[in-house]
């Protein structure tokens, strides 16, 4: 199948059902697991090591996921154990079951930042919203009703959907060479969606395990959070797109953390960069009159922002405004209501 408009081909027309799998190359299984959110699935890949398996990411830790993995171990993985779990990045839909597999004898491989953040965020259980988060939301111009609702609710915690991760891991970093599934993989690091996000590029058959760094039909969320309110992930994202464009080939088969495997990587890398570059240009014009981050939703997002996507939209809007500020294309000042007003410079 091919998307003629985007120049992207999909070698497999249908994705596996939740809990299902498909062999996409010799000894490489594409496994799809459910997520209870708008993006309702995550892709996990199993690499056959002969007498065991290496997993690339794991899905959430829930009763449903545990039951699915117990069945997958008997069926797709043919009764062989998982000896190693490799994390592309630290987000909960990718790390959730890692500790569960470690309890059963698997080793953990990850970037240093992914491991540290995973450990920290799973251990950091918050029963109430922090003052720093409230300040961040207020400064972004969050709707007062939504802000009040968030303050009243118990915040989301990684521990809700992630098994504890024991101490001890093997570090992977940019430029490393990984041997897994009978292949030699070059390890390349990206940033923007998550710090030190690992991708793996097979030397033998052009497979690319891309996690959330490269996805066929959506751009991953690029957000700024209360933990680092002046961060510039959009700048890091653009830099990473340029880096991967230099090695992208038409015959690469990209196995991503969401959606479907695809080819047409050079085009997709240009598109992923240009989507944000053009968004920045539109945003710079839009703030010719001062705007809060929340007031910038219409120019950045083509779809209506509802309660399920409001938080992701907010952090992404702040990220783009931060980048304009870093580039010297925007200024900001505090309004009487306590929200930052962003204004085009010059």
Contact partners, residue 280, CB within 8 Å, separation at least 6: 234, 320, 323, 324, 329
Alpha-carbon torsion angle 318, 227, 237, 175, nearest 10: 180
Give residue 37's pLDDT.
87
SS (H, E, C) the chain: CEECCCCEECCCCCCCCCCCEEEEECCEEEEEEECCCCCCEEEEEEEECCCCEEEECCCCCCHHHHHHHHHHHHCCCCCCCEEEEECCCCCHHHHCCHHHHHHCCCEEEECHHHHHHHHHHHHCCCCCCCHHHHHHHHHCCCCHHHHHHHHHCCCCCHHHCCCCCCCCCEECCCCCEEEECCEEEEEEEECCCCCCEEEEEECCCCEEEEECCCCCCCCCCCCCCCCCCCCCHHHHHHHHHHHHHCCCCCCCEEEECCCCCEECHHHHHHHHHHHHHHHHHHHHHHCCCCECCHHHHHHHCCCCCCCCCHHHHHHHHHHHHHHHHHCCCEEEEECCCCCEEEEECC
Given pLDDT bands bounded at 50, 70 and 90, which one contains residue 346? confident
Contact partners, residue 323, CB within 8 Å, separation at least 6: 232, 234, 235, 280
Contact partners, residue 120, CB within 8 Å, separation at least 6: none
Give residue 13's pLDDT.
84
Contact partners, residue 70, CB within 8 Å, separation at least 6: none
pLDDT average, residue stretch 130-145:
97
Q: For 36-49, how does the pLDDT look when each residue is reduced to its tens digit (9 = 90+)?
A: 988 999 999 999 99
Q: For 155-204, how does the pLDDT look when each residue is reduced to its tens digit (9 = 90+)?
A: 999 999 999 999 999 999 999 999 999 999 999 999 999 999 999 999 99
Q: Encoding tokens for residue 193?
A: 């969606």
Asked if pLDDT for residue 1 goes beyond 50, the answer is no
Asked if pLDDT for residue 301 goes beyond 60, the answer is yes
Q: Encoding tokens for residue 256?
A: 């991503």
For the chain, what is the mean pLDDT? 96
Give residue 312's pLDDT.
95
Pick from 229, 192, 234: nearest CA to 213: 192
Using the structure block, give the residue that is written with the tokens 């033998």: 204
Q: For 220-235, how does the pLDDT look when each residue is reduced to its tens digit (9 = 90+)?
A: 999 999 999 999 999 9
Contact partners, residue 99, CB within 8 Å, separation at least 6: 61, 122, 162, 163, 164, 165, 166
Asked if pLDDT for residue 310 goes beyond 50, the answer is yes
Q: For 57-97, how does the pLDDT look when each residue is reduced to its tens digit (9 = 90+)?
A: 999 999 999 999 999 999 999 999 999 999 999 999 999 99
Q: What percent of the chain is predicted at pLDDT more than 70? A: 98
Q: Longest Cα pair distance anywhere in the chain, in angstroms?
A: 65
Given pLDDT bands bounded at 50, 70 and 90, which one contains residue 307? confident
- Number of residues assigned to the chain: 346
Q: For 11-26, how does the pLDDT look when each residue is reduced to its tens digit (9 = 90+)?
A: 998 899 999 999 999 9
Q: Where are the domains of the chain?
A: 2-126+157-279
Give residue 6's pLDDT.
52
Fold of 2-126+157-279: Metallo-beta-lactamase; Chain A (3.60.15)
Pick from 333, 330, 345, 342: nearest CA to 290: 342
Provide the CA 9 distance to its chain's centre, in angstroms: 22
Given pLDDT bands bounded at 50, 70 and 90, which one contains residue 139? very high
């Amino acid at each position: 199948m091919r998307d003629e408009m985007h120049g992207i081909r999909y070698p497999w027309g249908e994705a596996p059902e939740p809990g299902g799998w498909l062999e996409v190359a010799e000894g490489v299984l594409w496994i799809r697991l459910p997520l209870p959110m708008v993006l309702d699935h995550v892709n996990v890949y199993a690499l056959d090591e002969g007498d065991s398996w290496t997993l690339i990411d794991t899905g959430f830790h829930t009763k449903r996921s545990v039951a699915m993995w117990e069945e997958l171990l008997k069926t797709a993985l043919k009764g062989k154990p998982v000896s190693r779990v490799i994390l592309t990045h630290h987000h909960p839909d990718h790390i959730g079951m890692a500790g569960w597999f470690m309890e059963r004898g698997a080793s953990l491989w990850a970037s240093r930042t992914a491991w540290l953040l995973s450990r920290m965020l799973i251990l950091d259980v918050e029963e109430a919203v922090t003052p720093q988060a409230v300040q961040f939301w207020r400064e972004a111009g969050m709707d007062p009703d939504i802000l009040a609702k968030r303050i009243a609710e118990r915040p989301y915690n990684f521990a809700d959907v992630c098994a504890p991760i024991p101490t001890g891991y093997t570090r992977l970093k940019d430029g490393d060479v990984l041997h897994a599934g009978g292949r030699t993989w070059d390890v390349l690091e990206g940033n923007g969606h998550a710090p030190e996000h690992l991708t793996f590029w097979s030397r033998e058959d052009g497979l690319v395990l891309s996690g959330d760094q490269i996805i066929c039909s959506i751009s991953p969320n690029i957000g700024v959070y209360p933990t680092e309110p002046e961060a510039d992930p959009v700048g890091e994202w653009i830099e990473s797109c340029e880096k991967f464009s230099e090695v992208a080939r038409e015959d690469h088969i990209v196995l991503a953390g969401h959606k479907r495997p695809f080819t047409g990587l050079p085009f997709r890398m240009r598109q992923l960069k240009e989507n944000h570059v053009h968004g920045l240009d539109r945003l710079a014009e839009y703030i010719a009159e001062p705007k809060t981050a929340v007031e910038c939703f219409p120019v950045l997002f083509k779809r209506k922002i509802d309660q399920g996507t409001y938080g992701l939209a907010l952090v992404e809007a702040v990220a783009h405004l931060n980048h304009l500020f870093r580039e010297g294309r925007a200024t900001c000042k505090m309004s009487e209501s306590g929200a930052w007003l962003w204004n085009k410079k010059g």
